[in-house]
Chains A and B, each alone.
Chain A
Amino acid sequence: MNYDQARWTDDDERYEPLLSEKHTAPADLDDAPLPDELTRDSLELPDLSEPELARHYTRLSEMNYGVDSGPYPLGSCTMKYNPKFTEDVAAIEAGAVHPDRSPESVQGNLELLYDLQDYLGRIGGMDAVTLQPPAGAAGEFTGVLVAKAYHEHNGDERSEIIVPESAHGTNFASAALAGFDVVSLPGGDDGRVDLDALEAALSEDTALLMLTNPNTLGLFERDIEEISEMVHDAGGLLYYDGANLNALLGRARPGDMGFDIMHYNVHKTFATPHGGGGPGAGPVGVVDELAPFLPKPQVEKRDGTYDLFDPEHSIGKVHGSLGNWLVLVKAYAYIARLGDPGLSDASAKAVLNANYLATQIEYEVPYGPFHHEFVASAGDQDAADVAKRMLDYGVHPPTTKWPEIVGEALMTEPTEIENKTTLDQLADAFNAVANEDQDALAAAPERTAARRIDQTGAARNLRLSWQALDDE
């Protein structure tokens, strides 16, 4: 596959100029309907016509790479195709209401949210679901607060949360944000939870164990039932990080494995677009016993009418309103489109794709059997350089240098959306790079809009706005 990304170059100094370099003007603040002392003195902003702006943003989009551009096998990120019709469903204007509307007057929105709660509960094997958390990390924070409130309600002071060393960084940060001490759990030789280490970590201070399953190596925690028993015997709760749920749809459910709390990353598993970094949504499911602690308000259905209510021991709110509505609508539409057979096929094909791709690449994959993703090692090569060089082959590289249990990690998750031909092209890219020398890697990328970027320089000489550039 050949690839050259569009590259708009203004001169030797810059690519597409900034809006501020095209044309700016001062705002006319003279006839302000307020006394002078209550208004600002000046405001200088870009001042461009619609055709100029259309071209500016179109050029910038051409200097960007999305799932629709080509394969995007970022491990742990589940870069699926985002079905176009879900955008149209989210754009239905009748749903674009103010969040403070009376429940009676927004029965449609509440019905959709209620149905989505129901879908997610069934998919995860959970009894109650909140849709309020606006991202996966917000879901984690919500789950941790629920666990905290539950323990406190039982008069149980517990100060620690156990997180495997190879877990997503958000697990650690979410636990810390809620005021817990984080106990990092070293992994076992097989890449899974080491039961002896877990035993040693558990205590009467343990509030929660946060687990991803399959874990970040793509491995299923086979001892999950024993883990669950150990945690619960110690009086703790078990949290499921839903980042890797795409491996399990229709095959296994967190609720059936003994998890008490889980979050769903709908921008991963349920194909809502990542939007260059967000928005996502991170609904949280819990078992019955924890439902009274969920954020307020919750949607309920009584006699065919939908209403909002505050759970008895609610933790309060984690978002100013009801969460990222537009994202939730897209997730609903995706789940409805796939239904039972589609969801289970998505996981089957995601796992098949990862396994097939792993057989086609020359890099070693030290741990298995893996599911929807695998972690290869770049060996003597620098994984970051490998990634830059892969860009030249028209593919987005995998997640690199993480999890650290694999040296020079290439964490690869092709998802179910790629066909065999694309996977073969992706494998060709891996293998071409595997056989290149350090000079070729260091010179990469060559075919992207920009060449290798100086990261250190950006941090050392901080310029975070065009105003900062002007000050130079």
Chain B
Amino acid sequence: MSGHHTTQGSPFAPHTATDTEAMLDAVGVETEAELFDIPDSVRFDGEFGIEPRSERAIRAEVAQTLEKNDDLVELLGRGHYSHYVPSLVDHLSQRSEFLTSYTQYQPEVTQGFLQVLFEYQSLLVELTGLGVANCSMYDAATALGEAATLADRLRQTSGTRVLVPEHLADGRREVLANYVGGTDLTVEEYPMDDGNVDVEALGGALDDSAVMVYAENPTVRGCVEESLETIGDLAHDNDALFCLGSDPVSLALLQEPASVGADVVVGAADVLGLPTSYGMGMGLFATREEYVRQVPGRLVGASTDDTGRRTYTLTLQTREQHIRRERATSNICTNQAWVALRAAIHASSLGPDGLADLAKEAVTDAQALADRVTEVVGVKAPVHDRHHVREFVAHTDQPAPAVAADLEDEGYAVHVLGEHHIQLNANALGENEVDEFVDALAEVAR
């Protein structure tokens, strides 16, 4: 079969009939089928029943399928955010030399991507204040899981308990449970007090059996955490690692993690570079320089080439699975490099003030929306008397599931947290959309 000229075969296999003949000849067989050394008993003679379609038909088909989604204004957050992604990001990240390249195992011919990843690492070093950031993890949840196994490797003798906040996204909690499943670690929750860490309770829960304390800033409910230094001190007093969850937009404004004693920072780095993509993400992972040999995933370092010029290359690969196998620091191989490229371009295009402004707006937008919705009869917001980034929890006199369902009928998606709590992310609303949303909420919340 000659693929690209007919409807038969793969359109991406460029063999002409003449070439195929010549190649079969050279190999010394008459048909391609002879090349398959598969016992008859396990040969597949059936059909998949997948009809090939044209490019045009598939584009139309998928567009039609996805149009079945309700067109809702999303006030959803809890770890997944949609900041506007400039056109520059799409156009540059789509350059074939970037998009269609593999991992940089031949650095001389992949300096471009290596430099991008080096710059990405550097941006995170600046934002976290920590000495090392890796090339990416899959998402915030797997980054948290990797942080726990890092803690296990660093301080194996001193403890087995990982302490996480009562308020935590389900996905992060469940992925963490699986990542520690192969270790002696156990995961325990500590309570929150009005949206922030209950430091007294945390202190009471801590002793030298703790190996890691995880906290978030902002929290999953959007609260700015006010006791970071105390949390860090508590962790360190008990010989535990302090792991902080955040994201690169919030970090442009909130306390620098290193300044409050964070040993590891994890989070959703995809808040830059990607719009919400049904949960596809990119995990931020940064830590102190002294732990660099225990870091999971790829690291790009600077070196020199034979001309003496500065170059970049993957380094400390002896940590990784392709060399160290079952003693590797992680099983990760394929990561989210292309998303890291997009995040780096996005951050660069915003620049220092642009990034800081985005964070400031996330604070003022949340405040402004809370001020508006709390005027609605039957709604009080924010539930937690804290500063907020992007989002906040609101109380509804009516049952929250009913309010959310009614809002969905009005064209809005919100989180339901409990019987009378909904969570609203202001970030997604355009200026004109605030009034409309508040009107809709007023209709359904009474």
Contact = CB atoms under 8 A, between A and B. Distances in A.
B109 A445 contact: yes
A275 B99 contact: yes
Nearest to A359: B26
B5 interface: no
Given A95-B278, A337-B52, A450-B111, A112 B126 contact: no
Interface in A31-69: 31-35, 38-41, 43-48, 50, 53-54, 56-69
Interface string B33-70: 10111110111100111111111001101110111111
Given A29-B356, A40-B254, A450-B111, A349 B10 contact: yes
Interface stretch (A86-94, A283-291, A431-439): A86-94
A345 B321 contact: no
- The 4 A-B residue pairs with the shortest CB-CB distance, nearest first, are A321-B279, A339-B52, A275-B338, A179-B182
Contacts of A252: 36, 38, 42-44
B12 A81 contact: yes
Contacts of A360: 26
Interface in B131-175: 131-133, 135-136, 138-142, 149, 169-172, 174-175
Nearest to B26: A359
17 contacts: A15-B310, A27-B353, A32-B360, A34-B224, A46-B348, A101-B72, A101-B413, A107-B69, A135-B334, A173-B326, A224-B42, A257-B42, A274-B103, A275-B99, A276-B110, A356-B23, A451-B307
B143 to A, nearest CB: 9
B364 to A, nearest CB: 5
Contacts of A47: 351-353
A108 interface: yes
Nearest to A59: B112
A336 to B, nearest CB: 5
A465 B131 contact: yes
A135 B336 CA distance: 9
Given A40-B255, A419-B14, A54 B88 contact: yes
A98 interface: yes
A449 interface: yes
B219 interface: no
Contacts of B320: 169
Contact of A220 (B37, B251, B303): B37
A175 B95 CA distance: 37
Given A108-B69, A119-B48, 6 more contacts: A40-B256, A62-B97, A66-B101, A112-B62, A180-B182, A453-B304
A98 B302 contact: no
Interface string A426-464: 000000000000000000010011111111011100111
Contacts of A219: 37
A256 interface: yes
A280 B336 CA distance: 8
Contact of B339 (A180, A279, A445, A463): A279
Contacts of A105: 69-70, 72, 408, 413
Interface in B211-260: 224, 226, 251-256, 259
B186 interface: no
A453 B330 CA distance: 26
Contacts of B191: none
B291 interface: no
Interface in B55-99: 55, 58-59, 61-63, 65-72, 74, 76, 78-80, 82, 88, 90, 92, 94-99
B102 A319 contact: no
Contacts of B265: none
Counting contact residues on chain B (CB < 8 A from A), the size range is: 35 or more
A388 B313 CA distance: 14
Nearest to B325: A172
A345 B278 contact: no
Interface string B345-372: 1011101110110001001100100000
Contact of A450 (B15, B94, B305, B360): B305
Interface stretch (B114-122, B202-210, B392-400, B434-442): B114-122
Interface in A131-177: 134-138, 140-141, 145, 148, 168-170, 172-177
A309 interface: no
A329 B313 CA distance: 32
A43 B100 CA distance: 34
Contact of A122 (B49, B65, B334): B49
B294 interface: no
Interface residues of A, number: 199
Contacts of B182: 176-180
Contacts of A278: 136, 334-339
Given A19-B348, A69-B97, A108-B69, A319 B177 contact: no
A328 to B, nearest CB: 9
A243 B327 CA distance: 22
A239 interface: no
Given A53-B348, A178-B181, A99 B253 contact: no
Given A27-B252, A60-B115, A325 B110 contact: no
A330 B16 CA distance: 27
Contact of A342 (B3, B104, B277): B3
B315 A462 contact: yes
A459 B301 contact: yes
A31 B356 CA distance: 10
A390 to B, nearest CB: 9
Contacts of B316: 459, 462
A85 B132 contact: no
Interface in A331-359: 332-333, 335-343, 345-346, 348-349, 351-353, 355-356, 359
Interface stretch (A201-209, A230-238, A310-318): A310-318
Contacts of B326: 172-173, 175-176, 182
Nearest to B51: A339
Interface in B282-341: 282, 292, 298-311, 313, 315-316, 320-328, 330-339, 341
A322 B277 CA distance: 10
B194 to A, nearest CB: 15
